[in-house]
Each structure stands twice: as structure tokens, then as C-alpha cells.
Amino acid sequence: MNTDRNVSRFLDYLRFEKRLSPHTLRAYETDLSQFFSFLTVTYDIKAFQEVKHLHVRAWIVELVQQQVANRSINRKISALKSLYRYLKKHQLVDVNPIAKVNAPKIGKRLPAVVQKKELEQLFSALVQAEGFSLVRDYTILALLYHTGIRRSELMQICLGDIDFHGCTIRVMGKGAKERLIPFSGHLAKILRKYIDLRKETFDNAVIGTIPEVLLTDKGKPLYPKYIYNKVKQYLSIVTTLEQRSPHVLRHSFATHLSDNGAPLNAIKALLGHSSLAATQIYTHNSIDRLRAIYQKAHPKAED
């Protein structure tokens, strides 16, 4: 299709104006490429104006037949909607063919959460950790669970972002939104131990130009797969959850706050959510707190 230039401009718009994450941009680029490849092969369509809502529906049917999950299909539809809004705004199309397309319904999926006692078991085993590698791994896990930050936010933390006096960490979230997250004295000890080992392990001439706090064993900044593998390795020791990713620690952070009575707006602020609706899912996992309230308040709870 003769669309490459405008799609590139659209992706640049998402990158520089909307400031979407590299992960989201890659997903959008892949989804759009798949859609336009389908149109070229199936209908020999070569221009945006030729695309009708029936073509989009045909693509969705093919995705369903390929057993693509509804959640993934919805993301692909979202990418198309964003593209055609951009095209219409810049008068490159007259009609938005996605407007008549309904996204498939998906069930509400509750986030996977590691139990408190399982995390206590893991951290108890690591508290006496010695040596750069183990202390670094402990710091990764502690930061993710104690602050609820995303993997991408963890990777970007620099020495200047950590305020030991005020016990806060500055992180850059989605859409380049900055927020300050408080941390405990316990996490402060873990961070100080790691930073001291970082200085001892690597020559300042080697890492003096590396602003990121967390490093690999070779003194390089962490990358997404590295963090994922580390978290999965350690969570596999204490939980049988199918999902054992960095995001599971973020879910656990939010759910445990909710279980202990933290206001939803406070959890929203800590997570960096733009909408309260995204945070409300954690109230569904607060069954421990609800059970405790019920047993204390209901006259027949002990029967």
C-alpha cells in the first residue's frame, strides 16, 4: 500500500506529541502493518480512502479464526481508530471506517497477585544477601514491590532521582508524566547498600557516564528482558502463579495497599494512573479486608 509515509508520520506524532512508550509504539506499528498487509493481499487495496468498515470487519473475522485473543484484537482496533482519527484530522480521509466497527467483548480479568506471606518468605531469604549480583536482584524486587513502579520506570531511575533525605523517588511514567513516590526506611537501607556496592564493584571511569542506578553484572544499564527474567526466577521460588512478571509485583503492591485500607485515590496517584477506573480493579482483590470487616461487624458472622 502507498501508506508508509503517512503511517510513519502518525507514529512520529504518537512518539513525540503523545509520548507513547516504545513498547506501545512497536505494538501499534505491528498491528497497522498486519492490517495493511491483509488489505493488500485480500482486496488489493492501496489507499486509505478505499478502506471500508466491511474490510475491517473481515480482518477481525480472520483474527478470530486465527484464535487471536479478544484483548489483542481490541488493541489492534484501538490502533486503527487512532490512525484514522489522525488521518481525518489532517484531511487525508473523508470517512472513518472504524466508526462502525464494534470491538469484541472481553471478560474482566483480575490481576495476578503474589500473597503477602510468599513475598515475606522471598524477602526474608534475600535480606542477608551479599555480593553485587544478589544485592542488585534484591534491590530490583524491593523497588518493584515497595513502590509499585513499572518495569520501564525502574530502568530509568538515576542516582539524582533518589532523595534519601525526603525518602522519595522521582519516576517518569507514561506520557512523560513525572511523579514522586515515597519509600520506607527499610527500602532506603536496601538502596544504600546497593549503591555502595555499585561504587565498589565498578571503576568510576567505567560507569561515571552511566546515569541509571541499576546495572547488569557487566556494569551496563538494565534492559526489559533482563528484569523480566530476574523477577520470574525469584517469584518461581515462592509462588505457583502462572504470571510471574514485574507487573505482578505492581499488582501485588496495589492490592496489598487496598487490603490494608488505603484510599483508592492514593493508590491511583502512587501507580500513576490517569483514570480512577484503571485503579478500581484492585478493590476486587481486597477480599481479606472485606472478610475481616464482615466478621467484625455482622452479628451472624461467627455462626
Kindly tell me the sign of the dihedral angle through the C-alpha atoms of 146, 152, 156, 161.
negative
Its pTM stands at 0.68
Q: Residue 302: what are its φ and ψ, rounded to 5°?
A: -90, -5
> According to the model, what pLDDT value does residue 104 have?
78
| CA atoms lying within 13 Å on the CB side of residue 95 | 9
CA distance 195 to 174: 26
Cell of 9: 508520520
Q: What is the DSSP letter of 20?
A: -
> According to the model, what pLDDT value does residue 234 have?
97
pLDDT digits (tens, 9 = 90+) for 130-153: 999 999 999 999 999 999 999 999
Whose cell is 482519527? That residue is: 85
> According to the model, what pLDDT value does residue 102 have?
81
Average pLDDT score over residue span 189-210:
91
pLDDT digits (tens, 9 = 90+) for 36-61: 999 999 999 988 889 998 899 999 98
pLDDT digits (tens, 9 = 90+) for 160-173: 999 999 999 999 98
Provide the H-helix boundaries in 66-184.
70-89, 116-126, 132-147, 151-156
Strand partners, 182: 168
% of the chain surpassing 90 pLDDT:
61
Per-residue pLDDT band at 298 (split at 50, 70, 90): low
Per-residue pLDDT band at 261 (split at 50, 70, 90): confident
CA distance 240 to 236: 7
Q: Are 254 and 284 in contact (CB under 8 A)?
A: no
Whose cell is 507514561? That residue is: 174
pLDDT digits (tens, 9 = 90+) for 1-37: 556 888 999 999 999 988 888 888 999 999 999 999 9
Per-residue pLDDT band at 225 (split at 50, 70, 90): very high
Q: Are 22 and 35 in contact (CB under 8 A)?
A: no
Average pLDDT score over residue span 73-77:
92
Instruction: Tell me which residues are annotated as active site.
Output: 150, 174, 247, 250, 273, 282
Judge whether residue 289 has pLDDT over 80. Answer: no
> According to the model, what pLDDT value does residue 286 have?
59
Cell of 130: 551479599
Q: What is the DSSP letter of 272?
A: T
**What residue ranges define each of the domains in the chain, with the CATH number in brackets?**
4-89 (1.10.150), 116-293 (1.10.443.10)
Kindly tell me the sign of the dihedral angle through the C-alpha atoms of 16, 22, 100, 6.
positive
Q: Residue 105: what are its φ and ψ, rounded to 5°?
A: -75, 145
> According to the model, what pLDDT value does residue 206 have?
73
CA distance 93 to 50: 9
Mean pLDDT taken over the chain: 89
CA distance 84 to 238: 46
